[in-house]
């Protein structure tokens, strides 16, 4: 009998808890088989333990491993020190592996959850993992000030995700309020609520489901052309409205081996065949066109249609057509879904505005003024703010409005960002000359100190974070925000 002693260096950031040690025995490059207590040969690891890892033991290491990314503050209590992809790799069998290294800037009175997401350049979601740190066994309320915690995530793509390059993103949100924390750069300036970690490569078609998750789409099977079948379809809304984005999620399979790369054309038509939204897309995406499809495995597609801003109310039908790149082969048009389209009432004469203030936001937005019932606010309270906009032309982009409560150091103590009308009045649906009445309720942080603050507003492109330029009524540049004057935070 031989006695061999091993000493383990616990990686910095390992959460305290109960662990086992996996033991493997090798003869050169070959792993030796193990035998169960019943004498059955297995290929499993030998598990030793369990062992209890205490905080003091978890913090013995002094150096972080090599990490990707720069340091970012998430909210006022968390700092992301960096991350690793997988176990020094890019793909963990069935999912994208991520290890994020966090530091607590202070004791946290509430628990946060981390959401890691796999998206494409259009913002479509292809996989998501939401966890509390330590697989929910080490919530943030247990972290000490300055403690470093390494947290692991595995993002499994949804069924039918095509191989290709995707974005890996991260958000942190409060479990109490279900509200995402603001990401701050090195100058403590807000940059949105999403940390963009970088690109990852999904090497093959996702043909299995994450346990406990079903992403199979409903609907009858529809044959489109001679070679492709639609297995299921999902729409992002039950009712389509002018200017709004209608998301179309679909599952396809090839009925035979395809030699051409087919394009999919989608049209939203009225009863008379008039087209009110349309788009052409490469079936399977640029990295997995139909000529690469293997067998009859399902392939997922996600597409967006934007309704024309002048769309009336009608009973819409979604029509699909397939064609090859040179349009020499084209399938017949097939209706694959129905959805009602509802127009809305519009106003073109400005109502009375208690605080008129004219400013222009490029390209086609004019700010007319605002209503602020009270300039005294309380910590933990809300600010009710109504903004008045005018469309000076049609827009092909949907812009997001930001409303911030700023202290003299430009730190944010209250914020509400939204597509106008709570998401129901996107700028892509505005008609020239139309007046938009846009109301926000801005939550103020409960620890906001007494004193003077400023309210700033403006618009930005959510896909890039780029704010719209602002000019006054004389055409003079005013930066990228509009200031609405001073307010005071007073005792509750």
DSSP letter for each residue of 104-166: ESS--SS-EEEEEEEE-TT--EEEEEEE-TTTTTS-GGGPPTT-EEEEEEEEPBPTTPPSEEE
Q: Residue 109's pLDDT is what? A: 87
Quickly tell me which residue has 């993992």 as its tokens: 129
Predicted TM-score (pTM) of the model is 0.82
Q: Residue 283's pLDDT is what? A: 94
CATH of domain 355-489: 2.60.40.2550
Q: Which CATH superfamily is domain 72-202 in?
A: abc- transporter (atp binding component) like domain (2.70.50.60)
Considering the chain, what percentage of its residues have pLDDT values greater than 70? 83
Q: Is the pLDDT of residue 88 over 50?
A: no
Q: Residue 54's pLDDT is what? A: 61
| CATH of region 222-341, choose from 2.60.40.2550, 3.40.220.10, 1.25.40.10, 1.10.530.10 | 2.60.40.2550
- Check: CB of residue 309 under 8 Å from CB of residue 429: yes
- Check: CB of residue 306 under 8 Å from CB of residue 245: yes
Backbone angles phi and psi of 33, in degrees to 5: -75, 155
At 281, the pLDDT band (50, 70, 90 cuts) reads very high
Q: Is the pLDDT of residue 91 over 50?
A: no
Q: Residue 115's pLDDT is what? A: 96
Q: Residue 95's pLDDT is what? A: 81
Q: Is the pLDDT of residue 92 over 60?
A: no
Strands 164-174 and 245-254: unpaired
Q: Residue 87's pLDDT is what? A: 45
Closest CA to 438 of 425, 452, 456, 455: 425
Q: Dump pLDDT digits (tens) for 385-415.
A: 999 999 999 999 999 999 999 999 888 899 9
Q: Where in the chain is the domain with CATH 2.60.40.2550?
A: 222-341, 355-489
Q: How many CB atoms lie within 10 A of CB 38?
A: 5
Q: Dump pLDDT digits (tens) for 201-213.
A: 888 888 776 555 5
At 90, the pLDDT band (50, 70, 90 cuts) reads very low
- 3-state SS assignment for residue 422: helix
* Highest-confidence segment of 20-29, 70-79, 374-383: 374-383
Q: Dump pLDDT digits (tens) for 184-199.
A: 877 777 777 899 999 9
At 348, the pLDDT band (50, 70, 90 cuts) reads very high
Rounded distance between C-alpha atoms, residue 259 and residue 100, angstroms: 43
Mean pLDDT of 45-72: 68
At 69, the pLDDT band (50, 70, 90 cuts) reads confident
Task: Please tell me which residue, 31 or 171, carries the higher pLDDT value.
Answer: 171
Average pLDDT across the chain, whole number: 87
- 3-state SS assignment for residue 233: strand
Residue 128 bridge partners (DSSP): 117
At 176, the pLDDT band (50, 70, 90 cuts) reads confident
Q: Where in the chain is the domain with CATH 2.70.50.60?
A: 72-202
């Amino acid at each position: 009998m031989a006695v061999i002693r091993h000493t383990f260096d616990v990686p910095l950031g390992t959460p305290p808890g109960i662990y086992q040690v996996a033991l493997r025995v090798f003869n050169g490059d070959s792993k030796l088989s193990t035998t169960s207590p019943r004498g059955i040969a297995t290929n499993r690891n030998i598990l030793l333990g369990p062992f209890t890892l205490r905080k003091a033991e978890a913090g013995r290491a002094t150096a972080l491993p090599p990490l990707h990314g720069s340091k970012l503050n998430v909210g006022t209590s968390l700092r992301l020190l960096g991350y690793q992809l997988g176990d020094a790799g890019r793909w963990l069998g069935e999912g994208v592996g991520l290890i994020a290294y966090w530091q607590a800037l202070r004791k946290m009175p509430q628990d946060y959850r981390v959401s890691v997401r796999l998206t494409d350049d259009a913002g479509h979601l292809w996989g998501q993992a939401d966890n509390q740190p330590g697989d929910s066994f080490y919530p943030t309320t247990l972290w000490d000030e300055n403690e470093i915690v390494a947290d692991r995530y595995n993002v499994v793509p949804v069924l039918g995700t095509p191989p290709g390059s995707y974005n890996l993103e991260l958000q942190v949100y409060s479990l109490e309020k279900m509200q995402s924390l603001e990401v701050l750069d090195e100058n403590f300036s807000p940059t949105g609520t999403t940390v963009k970690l970088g690109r990852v490569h999904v090497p093959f078609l996702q043909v299995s489901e994450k346990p406990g998750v079903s992403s199979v789409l409903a609907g009858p099977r529809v044959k489109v052309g001679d070679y492709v079948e639609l297995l299921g379809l999902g729409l992002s809304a039950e009712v389509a409205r002018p200017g709004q984005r209608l998301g179309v999620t679909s599952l396809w399979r090839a009925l035979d081996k395809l030699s051409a790369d087919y394009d999919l054309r989608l049209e939203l038509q009225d009863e008379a065949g008039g087209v009110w939204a349309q788009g052409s897309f490469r079936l399977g995406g640029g990295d997995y066109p139909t000529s690469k499809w293997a067998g009859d495995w399902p392939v997922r597609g996600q597409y967006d249609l934007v309704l024309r801003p002048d769309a009336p109310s009608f009973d819409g039908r979604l029509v699909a057509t397939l064609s090859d790149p040179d349009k020499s082969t084209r399938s017949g048009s097939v209706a694959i879904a129905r959805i009602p389209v509802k127009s809305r009432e519009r106003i073109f004469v400005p109502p009375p505005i208690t605080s008129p203030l004219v400013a222009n936001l490029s390209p086609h937005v004019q700010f007319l003024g605002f209503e602020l019932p009270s300039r005294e606010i309380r910590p933990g309270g809300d600010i009710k703010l109504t903004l008045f906009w005018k469309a000076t032309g049609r827009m092909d982009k949907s812009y997001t409005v930001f409303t911030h409560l700023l202290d003299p150091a430009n730190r944010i103590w209250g914020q509400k960002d939204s597509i106008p009308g709570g998401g129901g009045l996107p700028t892509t649906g505005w008609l020239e000359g139309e007046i938009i009445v846009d109301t926000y309720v801005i939550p103020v942080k409960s620890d906001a100190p007494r004193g003077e603050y400023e309210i700033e507003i403006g618009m930005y492109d959510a896909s890039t974070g780029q704010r719209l330029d602002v000019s006054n009524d004389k055409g003079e540049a005013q930066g990228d925000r509009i200031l609405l004057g001073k307010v005071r935070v007073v005792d509750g």
